[in-house]
Amino acid sequence: MKDLLNGWGATAVVFLPLVGAAVMLAIPKSEETLHKVVALTTSLVVFAVGVALLVNFDYDHGATLQFFQDKTWIEVINSRYIVGIDGISLPLIALTVFVVPLVIVYSWDHFPEPHNPKAFLLLILILETGMVGSFVAQDLLLFFVFFEFVLLPMYFMIGVYGGENRKYASLKFFLYTAFGSALMIVAILATYFLSPEVVIDGVSRHTFSMVALTEWGGAGLAKNTAILIFGGFFMGFGIKVPMFPFHTWLPDAHTQAPTQGSVILAAVLLKLGTYGFVRIAIPILPEGAKWWAPIIGGLAVIGIIYGALGCLAQTDMKRLIAFSSVAHMGYVMLGIATLTPFGINAAIFGMVAHGLITGMLFFIAGSVKDRYHTLEIKRLGGLLLQAPRMGWLLGFSSMASLGLPGLAGFWGEFPAILSAYNPGAGLDEALFRFYMVVAAIGTVFAAGYLLWLLQRVAFGTPTEEFEKAHIHDMHLTDYIAWAPMIVFIVVLGVYPNLIFKVTDSAVVHSLTALGGS
Amino acid sequence: MLTHAWLIPAIPAVAFVLILAFGKKLPRGGSEIGIASVSICFVLALAVATGWIGRVNHPPASEHGTDTQEVVTEHGTEPAAEGDHATETEPGTEDAPATAEEHGAAATADDRLPVASAAAEEAGEEHHSTPPVVREMKWFQSNGINFQVGTMIDGLSTVMLVVVTLISLLVHVFSTDYVAGDRRYTHYFAFLSLFTASMLFYVLSSSTLQMIVGWELVGLCSFGLIGHWWEEKPNSDAALKAFLVNRVGDIGLLCGMIILFFAAGGTFSVVDINTMANHGEIRHFLLLMASLSLITAVMSKSGQFILHTWLPDAMAGPTPVSALIHAATMVVAGIYMVARLYGVFFNGLSIGTGNINALAVVGSVTLLFGALLAFVQSDIKKVLAYSTVSQLGYMVMALGVGAWTAAIFHLFTHAFFKACLFLGSGSLAHHIHSFDFKKDMGGMRKTMPRTYVTFLIGTAALMGVPIVTSGFWSKDEVLAGASMLGGNGDGYTFALVMGLLAAACTCAYMTRLIWYVFFGEPRGKSAEHHLHENGPRIVLPLMILAFLAITSGWTNLPAKVFGISVPENLALRFEHFVEPTDTYFPTAANGFHHPEFVPWIAMVSLVAIIVGAGGAYLWYWKGMGPHGITERNRFARAGYKILENKYGLDILYVDWIAGSFKGPIAKAANWVNQNVLDGVVNAVGTTARRSGEAVYRYIDQGVVDGAVNASGAGADGAGEILRKAQTGKVQAYGAYLFVGAALLAAIFVIAS
Amino acid sequence: MLLNQFLILAAILFCTGVYGVISRRNGVLVLMSIELILNSVNLNLVAFSAMTGAVAGQVFALFVIAVAAAEVGVGLAIVLAIFRNFRTVDIDEVDLMKG
C-alpha cells in the first residue's frame, strides 16, 4: 500500500477525476442518475486516495517532498513530470479533494440552468484534476499547464451555467487571469534561462524543476532581474488571489457563477495564487520577494479595508460575500508578505479556513437564492424565522468568517496580524507595524459588514413579499454537503495544530533561501 | 483539583452542545442540563478555592517533592489529551534548580527562566510566596515554537471561578421562571452555558492568546443574548452595537497582546510576560505601548468612557442576562485582564511612582460621567447599567492607582450586589413587562415585599452604607488606595475627588430610583396589573445575593478600623488569599504597596452618602429643592440635554462614524471599484476591442485587402477612362489613326 | 515636269479624302473619300514611277486600283446592310460598338 502510494499516489489523485470523466463521456446524456453516481463515486475515490495520502504522509519530515515522482515529459526542453507533496501542498490537496464531493452532493437536486448534469459534472471533475495537479506539480511548466487547465472548465461553468450577466463575467474572468498567466510564463521562461544548468544523466541542461530552482534560490542573479521576474510572478499569482487592485474580476465571477462554481472558486481556485507565492515566487526569488514584500503587504492591507468597504456598499448577498473574499485574502497576503514562518503558516491556514468558511457562505447564499429567487438584501429578512437552520448556519459562518476564536477563521487572521509586527528578512518594521494596525482595524470592518448582513438577512421578520411564502429549510443534500464543512471549521478552530504541524517545517524549509529571518 | 481545572470550562461547553442537540426534546427544554452543569462547576470551583486556600496556607515549598510526584503521576494517568504531552509548570518556587528543571520540561523559552527563578528566590526570601498552578499542553506549533494551552490557578482566577459559577448558577435558576415560555427557551440556556464555558475558559487562561480566545467568545455570547429577541430591530441593533464597539476595543487587545508576545521574546505565557515585565527585561516603551493598547480593550469590554455606549443598549437582552453578563461577570473581563497582566500595566504605566496615568484617568472619568448619566434615565435597567459603568470605573481607577486588591475586592462584592439589583429589576418587571419606572412602576414595596427588601439591601451595598454592607468595605478600600498610594499626594488626588463625587451621585440616583419604584402611588401597568410576589425560583436567588451583598464585604476587613483591631485571622483574608505573591506580580521593589484603612476617607465618604441620599430624599420625598429648574434655567437645561444625549457619543458613533462608513464611504469605495478599478479593466477591455476593430477595419480591411482591391479597382478605373475613347464611331477611330500617324510622322521628322 | 506638282496634288487629294472620311456622315461619301485617299496614293506611286523609271510603282498602282474596286464593293455592301438595319446611312448613328 505504502509503496503503491509512493509510486502512484500523487498521480492517482490528479488523474482519477479524468478517468471518471472519461467514463461519463461514454454514458449517454439522458442517464442523469448514472452520471451523478459516477461523478460522486469518482470524487469519493479521489477523496479516499487523498485520505490515504494524509494517513501515509510522514509528518516528521513535512519539509521533504513525499510520494515523489520524476519522469521524462518534454525531453527537448527538459521539462519533466515531477510531482510530489510536502507540508505546504498537503493541506490544500486535502481541501480540494474534500470540497469536490461536497459540491457534487450539493448539486444532486440543485443543477443550475441549463440543467445538464453530464456536462456540469464533467466540468467539476476536470476542474478537480487541474486544481490538484497545480498543487502536486513540482515542475514549473507542468504547474503552468495545470494552472491554465483550471481556467477552461471554470470559464464554461460561469459562461454556461451562470446568471444573467454570465457572458461578461466569464470572459472577464478568463481574460484577466490569462493576462496574468502571460506575464507569468515570461517569468517562468526567464527563470528557466537565467538559472544555472543542472547535470542530469551526464548532460548539463537548464531545468524547470522547482526542487532544483528552490535550491538555487536566485543565487547570483542580479537584483533588478530578480525583481523583474518576481514582478511577472506577482502579476500571474496576484491576479488569481486576487489582490487589490486586480480583484475586479472576482465579484463579477462570483456573482454570476452558479453556487457550485462560486464554492469551488472561493474554496480552491483563489488559493492557486497564494500557493504560487508560497511555493514558487518566494523560495525561488527571495531577493525579488524582499523588494516586493512591502508593496504586497501594502496592497494586502488596502485590500482588507477596501474589500470591507466594498462589502458595506453591496446590495446583493453573493456579491458581498465575494467582496469579503478580497478582504480575507488580504490577510493571507499580509501573512505571506511578512516573509516569516509565522506569517506563511498563518497564510496557509488562512487559505484552508477561507476555503471552508467562504465556501460555506456561498453554499448558504445559493440555497437562499434557491428558496427566495433573489439575493437582494433589501428584499430578504427573517431567515431565522422561515428557515431557522439555514439562518443559524449563516450566523455561524458569519462568525467564523469574521475571525471568531474557536473557529477556523481566527487562526488565519490573528497570526497573520501578529507576524506583521515582526517581519522577516530585514523588512521595514515600522511600515509593517503600521500594516498590522490597519489589518487589526480591518477586523472591526469584517465584523461590521458580516453582522450587518446577518441582521438584515436573518434577523427581523420576513418582508411583505415573502411573508406568506413557504420556505423549505435545509434539504437532505444540504445536510450532507454542509455538515462536514461545519465540523471542520470547528475542529480546526479548536485544534489548529492539525494544519500548523503539517505546514511548519515545510514553510521554514522554503524560507531558508531568505536567510535568517 | 488545582491541576484538573480544565474540567470546569469543559463541562458547560459540553452542556452547550448537549442542550443544542437534545434540549428541545427534554421536558424542561434543556435548562436541566444547564443547571446541572453549572452546579457541578460551582462545586468544582469551591473545590478549587479550598485547594487554593490550602496551598496558600501550606505553600508547596515544604512539599515540593510530592508536587513533582504529582506531575509524574499525571503524565501516567492522564489520557494525555489529544495525544500531546501535558506539563505542569510552577514558575518561581523557592527551589530554583528544581524549577529550572521543570521548565526545561515545559519546553517554552527555557533560556530565560532560570533568571526568573533566581529572582524568585530573592523575592522568596523576603516573604512567603505561593506559585500559581499552571498546567499546559501543546496547542499548536509555528516556526518551530510550541504554543501552549492550559489552565493557571491562582488567587485571582479562583475568585473569578467562584463568582462566575455562583452567579451563573443563580441566574440559571432565576431564568427557569423568568424566561419560561420564551420563544427560544432552549437556545437561551444553550447560550448561557456557552457563556459560562467561555468566561471560565477566559479566567483560567494561562496564556494571553487563550485570553483573546475567551475574550472574543464571551463577546459572541453577549451578542447572541442581547439579540435574543432578534425579531425586533432595536434588539439586533443593540447586539450589533455591542459586538462592534467591542471589536473596536479588540484592535487594542490584538495589538497589545502582539506587542507583549514579541517583547517577551515570543511567548504568550501570562506568567512569563509578567515576570519579565517585573524584572525590567522588557523595554519600558514597549510595556507602555502594550498597556495603552490594552486599555482600549478594557474601555470597550468593561464599558469605560468613551467606549461604554454599548453597555446601556445591551439591556435589550433578557434581564437575567444583563445580570450575569452585563453587570457581574463579562464586563469585568477587562478588569480581570488588567489584574492578570498587572506586571505589564504596573510597570508600563509606572503606577508605582504615584503619577497620574491613563488607567487612573480613564477610571476616574468613567466613574463620575457614568454616574451622572444614571440621573436622566427612566428605565430601571438603564440606571443600573450606567451604575455598572460607574462601578467598573471604580475598579479601573483602583487598578490605576495601584490598589490591586481593592479593585478585585470591589469586583467581587459588586458582582453580588449588582446581580442582586439586576435580578431584582427583573423580578419587578416580570409581570408588568416594562422597565420604565416613571411610567409603569411605583408603590411596589407593598406588592412585592421580598423583592423590595433584597433590592434595598443591594442598593445599600451599592451606595456603600458603612460597616454593614460589602460595598462600603470595597469602595472604601478603593478610595483609600487613591488617597494613599499617590506618594506625595500629587497624582491620585484627582481620582480620589472624582471617586467621592461619584459616591454622592450614586447615592442620589439610587435613592431616586427607590423613590420611583417602591414609593408613591402605582402608575401605568403596575396599577393595571394585580401584582404579587414572584415564585421561589426568582426570590430565592435574590435572597442569596442579598445575603452575599452584605457578607462578602467581611472577607477583607482592614486590620484596623477606627482604632479597633480586627483579629489577624479575620482581617485582610481576601488580600491574603487572592493577591499573588509570586514573581509575576509586582512587588515592593517595583513600588507596589497596600493601602490601609483611612478613617477620614471613611468619614468623608459617609458624608458623601448622606449628602447624596439625603439630597435625593429631600427632593423626592419632601419635594424640596428647585424643581423644574431645567425648564427655567438655561444652563441646567443645557446640562440636562447633554446628559440626555449621553454626551453626544451615540450620535458621533452611530450617525457619524458608523453611518459614514456604512453610507458615503462604503459607497465611495464601491464607486471607485465600479468606476475606477473596474473602469480601468473595462476600459482596457474596451480599448482592446476597439483597437482590434481599428486594426481590422483600417489595416486588415484597408491596407492589406485594400491593395488587392485597389489593383482591381485600378484596372476597372482605367477601363472606365479608356472606355470613353471607344465611341463606337468609325470616324473617330479613323481620326485617331490619322492623328497618330501624323504624330509619328512629326516625331520622325523632328527626330531625324 | 516637276515632281512637286504631283505630290502637291496628291497631298491635296489626300487631305480632302481624310477630311471626308473624318467629317462626312454619309457612309457612301465616306467610301468615296476613301477612294480619294487611295487615288492620291496611286497618284504618288505613278508619279514616283514616272520619275524614277521603275515599273513597280505602276504595277503597285494597278493593284491598288483593283483592291479599291473590291473595297468599294464590300464597302457599299456594308452600307447597304447598315441601311437595311438602321434605315439610315448616317454612320454617326451606328455606334453599337460604343464601350
User: pLDDT digit string (tens) for A148-173?
Assistant: 989 889 999 998 888 888 888 888 88
Residues of B with Cβ-Cβ distance to C30 under 8 angstroms:
730-731
Contact (CB, 8 A) for B646 and A294 = no
What's the pTM value of the predicted model, to 2 decimals? 0.81
Residue B728 contacts C, CB cutoff 8 Å: yes
**Nearest Cβ partner of B728 from C21, C23, C96?**
C96
* Backbone φ/ψ region at B262: left (φ over 0), alpha (ψ -120 to 50), beta: alpha
**Cell output for C65:** 486600283
> Are residues B251 and A440, on separate chains, in Cβ contact within 8 Å?
yes
Cβ–Cβ gap A461/B231 under 8 Å: yes
- In angstroms, the CA B16 to CA B34 distance is 8
Inform me whether the pLDDT recorded for B736 exceeds 70.
yes
Does residue B125 register a pLDDT over 60? no
Q: Quick check: A25 pLDDT over 60? A: yes
Does residue B741 sit at the C interface (CB-CB below 8 Å)? no
Residues of B in contact with A404 (CB under 8 A): 216-217, 220
CA distance linking residue A442 with residue C67, whole number of Å: 114
For residue A85, list its beta bridge partners.
A66
For residue A55, is pLDDT > 80?
yes
C-alpha to C-alpha distance for B365 and B374, rounded to whole angstroms: 14
Mean pLDDT confidence for C39-52: 90
Please give the pLDDT value at position B121.
Answer: 43
Distance in Å, alpha carbon of B144 to nearest chain A alpha carbon: 7
- CA–CA dist A10, B615 (Å, integer): 83
Evaluate if residue B8 carries a pLDDT over 90: no
pLDDT > 70? residue A282:
yes
pLDDT for position A511:
84
pLDDT at B97: 37
Average pLDDT for chain B: 79
- Pick C95's closest partner by Cβ from B724, B728, B734: B728
3-state SS class at B150: strand
Beta carbons of A294 and A336 less than 8 angstroms apart = no
On whether any CB of chain A is under 8 Å from the CB of B667, the answer is yes
Backbone angles phi, psi at B84, to 5 degrees: -105, 160
Name the more confident of B547 and B641: B547
* pLDDT digit string, tens, across residues C49-65: 888 888 888 899 999 99
3-state helix, strand, coil in chain B (%, to 5): 75, 5, 20
Q: Which residues of A touch B212 (CB under 8 A)?
A: 405, 414
The contacts of residue A398 (CB under 8 Å, 6+ apart) are: A361, A450, A451, A453, A454
The reply to whether residue B728 touches residue C30, judged by beta carbons under 8 angstroms, is no
pLDDT(B483) > 70: yes
Radius of gyration from C-alpha coordinates of chain B: 38
B685 interfaces chain A, CB cutoff of 8 Å: yes
pLDDT band at B87 (very low <50, low <70, confident <90, very high): very low
B725 and C97 within 8 Å at the Cβ level: the answer is no
Q: Which of A341-345, B409-413, B557-561 has the lowest mean pLDDT?
A: B557-561
Report d(CA B182, CA B29) in Å as an integer: 11
Chain-centre distance for alpha carbon A285: 22
For chain C, the domains span: 3-86
A89 against B31, higher pLDDT = A89
* Interface touch A496/B262, C-beta < 8 Å: no
Instruction: Give the helix/strand (H/E) hosting B137.
Output: strand B133-142
The per-residue pLDDT for B719 is 87
Q: Which of B138, B202, B258, B260 to mutate to test the interface with A (most CBs of A within 10 A)?
A: B258
Please name the amino acid found at residue B486: G
Q: Which residues of C touch B723 (CB under 8 A)?
A: 99
- Gyration radius of chain A over CA positions: 22
Cβ neighbours of C18 in B, within 8 Å: 738
User: Which residues, at least 6 apart from B157, have a Cβ–Cβ distance to it below 8 Å?
Assistant: B203, B204
Flag whether pLDDT at B746 surpasses 90: yes
Residues 6+ apart with CB under 8 A from B541: B170, B171, B173, B174, B423
For residues A466-479, b (16+ Cβ closer than 10 Å) or e, as one string?
Answer: beeeeeeebeebbe
pLDDT at A517 over 50: no
Nearest-angstrom CA–CA distance, B173 and B328: 16
Phi, psi angle pair for C97, to nearest 5°: -85, 5
Chains B and A are touching, with contact defined as 3 or more CB–CB pairs separated by less than 8 Å: yes
- Greatest mean pLDDT among A256-265, B479-488, B705-714: A256-265
Handedness of CA B636, B638, B641, B645 (dihedral sign): negative
- When CB atoms are compared, the residue of C21, C23, C95 closest to B727 is C95
- Chain-centre distance of CA B223, in angstroms? 11
Question: Could C95 and B729 be called an inter-chain contact, meaning their C-beta atoms sit closer than 8 Å?
Answer: yes
Tell me the three cell numbers of residue B185: 427557551
**Structure confidence at residue B751 (pLDDT):** 85
Q: How far is CA B304 from the centre of its chain?
A: 10
> What would the mean pLDDT of B442-459 be, rounded to a whole number?
84
Place of cell 508547596: B60
With 0-12 CB in 10 A as exposed, 13-18 as middle and 19+ as buried, what is A379?
middle
User: Chains meeting C at 3+ CB pairs closer than 8 A?
Assistant: B
CATH ID of C3-86, from 3.10.105.10, 1.10.287.3510, 3.40.50.300, 3.60.130.10: 1.10.287.3510
φ, ψ for residue B572, nearest 5 deg? 55, 35
Question: A173 and A247 in contact (C-beta within 8 Å)?
Answer: no
**What is the three-class DSSP state of B606?**
helix
B248: chain A residues, CB-CB within 8 Å: 444
Share of chain B above pLDDT 90, in %: 2
For helices B284-301 and B233-263, give the axis angle rounded to 10 degrees.
Answer: 170
Mutate one of A312, A348, A410, A450 to test the B interface: name it (highest B CB count within 10 A). Answer: A312
Put simply, the answer to whether B254 touches A504 (Cβ < 8 Å) is: no
Of B125-129, B229-233, B368-372, which range is least confident? Answer: B125-129
Q: With contacts defined as CB-CB under 8 Å, which chain B residues touch A437?
A: 251, 255
Which candidate from A309, A447, A508 shows the least CB-CB separation from B144? A508
Among the ranges given (A174-178, B57-61, B360-364, B545-549), the one the predictor scored with the smallest mean pLDDT: B57-61
In whole angstroms, give the CA distance from residue B604 to residue B608.
Answer: 6
Q: What is the pLDDT of residue B629?
A: 66
- Element (H or E) spanning B527, and its range? helix B524-528
Tell me if B494 sits within 8 A of B575, measured CB to CB: no
Tell if the CB–CB gap between B731 and C92 is shorter than 8 Å: yes
**Residue B572's closest CA among B397, B463, B409?**
B409
Using CA atoms, how far residue A282 sits from A272, A277, A503, A514, in Å, is: 14, 6, 16, 9
With contacts defined as CB-CB under 8 Å, which chain B residues touch A411?
Answer: 140
Distance CA A308, CA A440 (A): 12
pLDDT reading at A396 higher than 80:
yes
d(CA B291, CA B296): 9
Within 8 A of C95 by CB-CB distance, chain B residues are 727-729
User: What CA–CA distances, in Å, run from B325 to A174, B199, B322, B418, B481?
Assistant: 52, 10, 5, 11, 28
**Of residues A249, A404, A504, nearest to B220 (C-beta):** A404
Q: Quick check: C72 pLDDT over 60?
A: yes
Beta pairing class for B133-142 and A66-74:
unpaired
The rounded distance, in Å, linking the Cα atoms of B642 and B75 is 62
Identify the CA nearest to B159 among candidates B471, B412, B343: B412
The span from the CA of B478 to the CA of C60, in Å, is 154
Mean predicted lDDT score pLDDT of chain A: 88
pLDDT score of A354: 92
d(CA B636, CA A163): 62
Note whether B143 contacts A444, CB cutoff 8 Å. no
Nearest by CB to A455, from B236, B670, B673: name it.
B236
Instruction: Tell me the C-alpha distance between B342 and A168, whole Å.
Output: 59
Whether A334 and A420 have beta carbons less than 8 Å apart is answered as: yes
Of A393, A269, A407, A391, give the one whose Cα is nearest residue A325: A269
Instruction: Kindly determine whether residue A410 and residue B139, on different chains, have CB atoms separated by under 8 Å.
Output: no
B104 pLDDT band (50/70/90 cuts)?
A: very low
Confidence class for position B747, pLDDT limits 50, 70, 90: very high
The three-point CA angle B687-B690-B694 to 5° equals 130
Q: Sorting pLDDT into bands at 50, 70 and 90, what band is B114? A: very low
Asked whether residue B543 carries a pLDDT value surpassing 80, the answer given is yes
Q: Kindly determine whether residue A410 and residue B251, on different chains, have CB atoms separated by under 8 Å.
A: no
Residue of B nearest to C24 (CA): B731
Least confident of A474-483, B603-612, B648-657: B648-657
Q: Which set of grid coordinates corresponds to residue B91?
A: 514558575
Confidence bin at B96 (pLDDT 50/70/90): very low
* Cα B495–Cα B500–Cα B505 angle in degrees, nearest 5: 120
Q: Would an 8 Å CB–CB cutoff place B261 in contact with chain A?
A: yes
Tell me the three cell numbers of residue A238: 496576484
B134-187 per-position pLDDT tens digit: 888 888 888 778 888 888 888 888 888 888 999 999 988 888 888 887 778 888
Distance separating alpha carbons of residues A442 and A312, to the nearest angstrom: 13
Q: Is the pLDDT of residue A502 over 80?
A: yes
**Taking the alpha carbons of B342, B348, B353, B357 in that order, is the dihedral positive or negative?**
negative
Kindly list the distances between the CA atom of residue A22 and the CA atoms of A17, A39, A161, in Å, as whole numbers in the listed order: 9, 11, 21
8 Å CB contact of B255 and A461: no
Asked whether the beta carbons of B241 and B655 are under 8 A apart, the reply is no
Residues of chain B with Cβ-Cβ distance to A249 below 8 Å are 681
Task: Cell numbers for B163, please give them.
Answer: 463568582
Taking an 8 Å cut-off on Cβ atoms, the answer to whether C23 and B731 are in contact is: yes
Report the C-alpha gap between A456 and A311 in whole angstroms: 13
This model of the complex carries an ipTM of 0.88
The letter for the amino acid at A158 is I
Residues 6+ apart with CB under 8 A from B714: none
pLDDT of res. C39:
92
Binning pLDDT at 50, 70 and 90, where does residue A48 land?
very high
